[in-house]
Structure 1
């Protein structure tokens, strides 16, 4: 509200009915809020239906989905539809793991199955320099297994339309040949790791969902509780945790040591300390909130290479397929630009080069 009141000083008067905007002002306001101008003439706001099941359980008032969230879901649905058509045309078989673990299945067995499909080896992870390297590898492993993993903090490539992690952390779109996971890249890297693990559990369950996955929370819905348990077991198997955990050690030192050892965030380690019986729920939650504040206060890294970032936003699997299809003439450049969220041929060519597919 403050942002729009700054850009449109007359907004409070419009809302109070003391004055009315001109048509030009309405057009400007509609553009700034990404709202069809016709909506502004309705007596009541339209009921926006969530395209996928909404399983969020964040505390506080439940608001209508933002235009940014809806547009991101719609964009991912379009990408999934395109990729599904391409995969079927190429005769690609269905991925057997999609829907292979109904909700309520044994958590340890499901986590082991996910590790097997992804090649998610704990010892290999321990040899990586940092857990952020482990997160990058985690995404690449899921993508290589056939799951499009898209991670972005903005809608398409519009850096003025930031996705709010307080609204959602991620979502999954289960599909036999084109499963898709979206991670809110505006969230902390620590949260992104658990979100990916949680959404993978949704893919194994064969259930699409919008989530606010958080390691320390107990969601209301059974499917979300189950996905959280699978995610925790996937990242840090409880047997391995119990073997390595020293409950009597100083918490800060042990937290950092185990995070380095398992190459996961300290947030996941706190949850597993509780699961292993080393921390009460109250102590774990207090430490968890302190750790979230500490991680959020850390400076964010630079954007890095634009083309690598772009590939991460749409998944390398999807980007490669679309680039190849476009250069081979099976897809139009107009369609490719729309699905990628780019506007210039130079950008498309640069992305092609970064993926090793230059023409």
Structure 2
């Protein structure tokens, strides 16, 4: 049996890169401690299995030193105003996949002679956030009363995504890498990103986040498209200072898109307690309680001290709730939402016209069967 001499520090790097402890892999690789200590070497078959378990190309493990893995787009994430360190393989793989999809759609848009989206780059940070927010709502046809009539946050999010899709934005929502449910995306690492392009503007939303948080992420990433600014975000509703100026501005735009002060002020009730006002307004605007708290501060209804106390309490409550959140849903709807309805229609149409191979279409859509492909084609109105 042939053993492969792999540097122990490369095995440790690959495991730590995947966010795993030795104990997490012992059931599959019983001699992993010996491999990492340099006391034993894996077989080629074991090395291949290990590489798949830690989501790294097997050839990378033969390098003398770990590669310098950098995010392929600007990183606006911060934790307590400090830049975030090493990206996870899940995040990197999701970024690369979305870049590939965007490149494909850009070519498709050129072939089908689609016009550039006029809203991409229509704003700059010298413009007032409320002015840009009004333009976003008008471009998407956002109707606050229509959103208020939605029965659930999920329904309101679906409406918001549909409006962005119809305006020409590829909105992709997933909580896992491709369709691998064992590779969950962590909202604490990132909440979304925007890949700006006049022909193929793309927004990715971390579907493992709460529905109300996803609403804010979409609004935030749309602001990035209006700036024509590609970037990775961990956007939250907090009115923070000291972070990247672009993120602070995009947060202000997003808050105004979802809860315009002109609509909020008439909805405020004199003498109402904060405990009654917040849940009532979250139901009215279909946003998170954190967004409502931020807008109450913006409107002067809360002072800074009261806001800070309420914010910390509510954030702790939401974190506790998210720990027990579950998944599920309709398979075909989930599959389409992962790649966007607009992208799905384009891929199915191109495949039926013979411009794209079925093999490539299956890979980009994350499906494995012709019957699934055909059902998805019917779902998006391309096939009968």
TM-score by length of 1: 0.93
Cα separation, partners in 2 of 1:357 and 1:47, compared to 1, 3 Å: same
Residues 88 and 61 of structure 1: CA distance in aligned 2, closer, same or farther (over 3 Å) = closer
Q: Is the 8 A contact 1:190 1:267 kept in 2?
A: no
Distance in 1 separating the partners of 2:128 and 2:83: 34
Kindly report which structure 2 residues correspond to 1:1-359, keeping only aligned pairs within 5 A, or say none: 1-2=20-21, 3-59=24-80, 62-216=84-238, 218=240, 220-246=243-269, 248-277=271-300, 278-280=302-304, 281-297=307-323, 299-301=325-327, 303-358=328-383
In the alignment, structure 2 segments of 5+ residues that lack a partner are 1-19
Residues 188 and 296 of structure 1 are in contact (CA less than 8 Å); yes or no, is this contact kept in structure 2?
yes
Residue 338 of structure 2 aligns to a residue whose secondary structure is: helix
Distance (Å, rounded) in 1 between the aligned partners of 2:128 and 2:48: 54
Contact 2:47/2:58 (8 A) holds in 1: yes
Aligned 8 A contact 1:50 1:65 in 2? yes
Q: State the Cα distance separating 1:5 from its structure 2 match.
A: 4.1
In 1, are the aligned partners of 2:290 and 2:311 still within 8 Å (CA)? no
Q: CA deviation at 1:294?
A: 4.6
Report the Cα distance in structure 2 between the residues aligned to 1:186 and 1:293, rounded to whole angstroms: 13
Q: Is the 8 A contact 1:267 1:291 kept in 2?
A: no
- When structure 1 is superposed on structure 2, of 267-276 and 238-247 the one drifting more is 238-247
In 1, are the aligned partners of 2:297 and 2:303 still within 8 Å (CA)?
yes
* Higher RCO (C-alpha under 8 Å, 6+ residues apart): 1
- How far the C-alpha of 1:82 sits from its partner, in A, is 1.2
Aligned equivalents of 1:212 and 1:10: distance in 2? 38
Task: Give, in whole Å, the separation in 2 of the partners of 1:5 and 1:220.
Answer: 41
- In the TM superposition, what whole-angstrom CA distance separates every residue of 1:305-342 from its partner, at most 9, and x where no partner exists? 21111110000001011111111212111121121122
Unaligned runs of 5+ in 1: none
Instruction: Please give the alpha-carbon distance, in whole angstroms, between the structure 2 residues aligned to 1:6 and 1:62.
Output: 31
Deviations for 1:27-77, whole angstroms, at most 9, x for unmatched residues?
Answer: 211011121122223332101121111111124783322221111111111
User: What SS is found at the alignment partner of 1:69?
Assistant: helix
Q: Which moved more, 1:170-179 or 1:213-222?
A: 213-222
SS in 1 for 2:78: coil
TM-score (ref. length: structure 2): 0.88
Q: Is the 8 A contact 1:148 1:315 kept in 2?
A: yes
CA RMSD of aligned residues (A): 1.9
Name the counterpart of 2:12.
none
Q: What count of residue pairs does the alignment treat as equivalent? A: 358
